[in-house]
Structure 1
Amino acid sequence: MKQVAATMAGTVIQVLVQAGDQVSDGQDVVVLESMKMEVPVQAQAAGNVVEVKVNIGDFVNDGDIIVVLE
């Protein structure tokens, strides 16, 4: 299993993938808002989305796992 982690603390404003989706290396999977900036979080590897661990409005910390890939 591969995991995609938040790159900074912020609030989830967009979830761009769902379980079953195929993602490529570098693809945006979630968009965070931090300090009034929108920050996309990318997958670091290609794979199938097994689980999305966040919802819109959730607050995440730097390093929190947000998407699980296989």
Structure 2
Amino acid sequence: MTIINIKTEITGNIWKIEAQVGQKLAEGDTIMILESMKMEIPVSATEDGVLVEILAEEGATVTEGTVVARIEA
């Protein structure tokens, strides 16, 4: 098994976490939603796997490239 780091593509605030640790995800499934400049930007799974860790919480501010979750693929 391989651990995949899920990173943000933009600076913003974590508006809502939609997935739970232990959940099976398909590539493209939304893990959380960032809010930036009044836009909602999904942070999605980059490949199929199981969500093993969430590294941020709702309301937190993150910068571009921050690792916010890990998937075991």
Q: TM-score, normalised by structure 1?
A: 0.96
Q: SS where residue 18 of structure 1 aligns? A: coil
Percent of aligned pairs with the same residue?
Answer: 30
Q: Paired residue for 1:15?
A: 17
Instruction: Supply the RMSD in Å over aligned alpha carbons.
Output: 0.6
Q: From 4, 7, 15, give the equivalent of 2:6.
A: 4
Q: Which string of whole-angstrom CA distances, capped at 9 and with x for unpartnered residues, describes residues 1-45 of structure 1?
A: 011101100000110111101110011111000011111111111
Unaligned runs of 5+ in 1: none
Question: Where does structure 1 differ by over 6 angstroms across 4 or more consecutive aligned residues?
Answer: none
Q: TM-score, normalised by structure 2?
A: 0.92
Q: Paired residue for 1:65?
A: 67
Unaligned runs of 5+ in 2: none
CA distance in 2, matches of 1:27, 1:49: 11
- Would you say how many aligned residue pairs link Structure 1 and Structure 2? 70
